A and B are shown apart, each in its own frame.
Chain A
Amino acid sequence: QVQLQESGPGLVKPSQTLSLTCTVSGGSISSGSYYWSWIRQPAGKGLEWIGRIFTSGSTNYNPSLKSRVTISVDTSKNQFSLNLSSVTAADTAVYYCARAITGTTKFDLWGQGTLVTVSS
Chain B
Amino acid sequence: QSVLTQPPSVSAAPGQKVTISCSGSSPNIENNYVSWYQQLPGTAPKLLIYENNKRPSGIPDRFSGSKSGTSATLGITGLQTGDEADYYCGTWDSSLIAGVFGGGTKLTVL
Contacts and interface: CB of A to CB of B under 8 A. Distances in A.
B50 A106 contact: yes
Given A96-B44, A110-B45, A105 B37 contact: no
B24 interface: no
B101 A106 contact: no
Contact of B104 (A47, A52, A62): A47
Contacts of B88: 46-47
A107 B47 CA distance: 7
Interface residues of A, number: 22
A104 B99 contact: no
A112 interface: yes
Interface in A22-72: 37, 39, 46-49, 51-52, 60-63
A48 B51 contact: no
B99 A106 contact: no
B64 interface: no
Q: Pick the 10 closest A-B CB pairs, nearest first.
A: A49-B99, A106-B50, A110-B44, A46-B104, A47-B101, A46-B103, A105-B90, A105-B92, A62-B98, A108-B47
Interface of A: 37, 39, 46-49, 51-52, 60-63, 96, 104-108, 110-113
